[in-house]
Amino acid sequence: MKAQTHNGVVGQLGLNYVSKGLLTKDEGRLYSRLLQHRITGDYNDFFDFEREDVLPLLEPTRKLLAKLESLLAYQ
């Protein structure tokens, strides 16, 4: 899997993992959402994340990370 940009990683994730059923569509969407939040946090000086926005993402993100680590270890 090769990607030159963060958005390229999203595309490759969809192509190599979601479309093959290794990740669910919801997991792919979560990854995209996290990337967009990262970009917003990095480049929008007038934006702060609120606790109520972040807390619901913690557990799904932990599960996604564990699944990605497992998939990468397998390859």
Looking at every residue in the chain, the average pLDDT score rounds to 91
User: Is residue 74 scored above 90 in pLDDT?
Assistant: no
39 Cβ contact partners less than 8 Å away, ≥ 6 residues apart: 6
Nearest of 24, 23, 34, 33 to residue 1 by alpha carbon: 23
Q: What percent of the chain lies above the pLDDT cut of 90?
A: 63
Tokens of 54: 């972040």
**Dist CA 56 CA 74 (whole Å):** 29
Question: Which tops the pLDDT comparison, 4 or 56?
Answer: 56
Q: What percent of the chain lies above the pLDDT cut of 70?
A: 100
Q: In this structure, what is the dihedral angle of CA atoms 28, 31, 33, 37, given to the nearest 10 degrees?
A: -170
User: Is residue 40 scored above 90 in pLDDT?
Assistant: no
